[in-house]
Amino acid sequence: MWKVPQVAVVADAVTAPSVAFLISDVDGTLVTPDKRLTDAAAAAVRSLHTAGVGFSLISSRPPRGMAALLSALEVDQPFAAFNGGSVLGSDGEVLERLMVPREAARKALALFDLRGVDSWVFARGEWWLRDPHGVKTDRERRTVGFEPTAIAGFDSLLGEIDKLVGVSDDHDLLARTEVEAQALLAGLATAVRSQPYYLDVTHLEANKGRAVRAICRRLGLDPQRLAVIGDMENDVSMFVEAGFAIAMGQASEAVCAAAAAVTGPNTEDGFAEAVRRYVLPRAAAGAAV
């Protein structure tokens, strides 16, 4: 089990704050656009282990869709799925879970239908949809590693939904729908894109910032000793909770502006670059006392 390494605090801009733990987003950050974990990314995580830096993941994916990566990277720390809606132990036990309220889910699904946006529902450990051959379904199969279940309607799942997703290849349409959903669901649920083509709806308190706080609390970790890395607007909530935040090179100007540093894009092993350039030097800050 990882423990917070004892390091002295160094005040200069290069090495402060010192980093004891790194939490990474998955899609757009840790993996390539085709959902591949590169050798360089895997090696970067091993270098964190060697340096005594803890490592975990917070993703919009369902837990089942994270299992292969967690195993490949030997993650033995709490992690979070569904944009922070579920916090799980390293053994997969659900430690905290927030589900989309019935009324919020009903309103979001009606809006998606009205705007011609496909709907996916993640509930009961499964991925549910109307058309198994619809927009982005093959991509999601590769991402989560399991098959969807076709269903005529979603009423039977209301009250049990971990996350629902609006899906469209029309990125401008989905951006407009995001604004509408945020107004429609104000005070009921969170609506934010995890990718330009995915609009995620989760519990009002389900966000990556909350998951960061939960993981830090369970580990007894000072958030100022935490580094985080991500690429989308849904990652900014964890940026503000951490001592050091890194944006991926392909991130929007707004996401980059919210971070302390910007690395390369996920097409060019930006995650590995961030570990080498920003995390490991801070992990060594001050040396052990």
CATH number attached to the domain at 102-203? 3.30.1240.10
Q: CATH 3.30.1240.10 spans which residues of the chain?
A: 102-203
Q: What's the confidence (pLDDT) of residue 287?
A: 34
Tens digit of each residue's pLDDT (9 = 90 or more) over 8-51: 333 333 445 699 999 999 999 999 999 999 999 999 999 999 99
- Cis-peptide into 17, omega within 30 deg: yes
Terminal-to-terminal C-alpha distance of the chain: 21
Q: CATH 3.40.50.1000 spans which residues of the chain?
A: 21-97+207-283
Q: What's the confidence (pLDDT) of residue 7?
A: 35
Q: What's the confidence (pLDDT) of residue 288?
A: 34
Rounded to whole angstroms, how far apart are CA atoms 110 and 131?
Answer: 17
Percent of the chain having pLDDT more than 90?
Answer: 91
Tens digit of each residue's pLDDT (9 = 90 or more) over 113-153: 999 999 999 999 999 999 999 999 999 999 999 999 999 99
pLDDT band of 194, cuts 50, 70, 90 = confident
Quickly name the fold that domain 21-97+207-283 has. Rossmann fold (3.40.50)
Give the mean model confidence (pLDDT) for residues 100-105: 97
Residue 122's nearest CA partner among 169, 174, 166, 185 is: 166
How high does pLDDT run on average in the chain? 92
Rounded to whole angstroms, how far apart are CA atoms 197 and 131?
Answer: 17
Query: Do the Cβ atoms of 108 and 164 come closer than 8 Å?
Result: yes
- Inform me whether the pLDDT recorded for 107 exceeds 80: yes
pLDDT band of 183, cuts 50, 70, 90 = very high
Partnered with residue 9 across adjacent β-strands are none
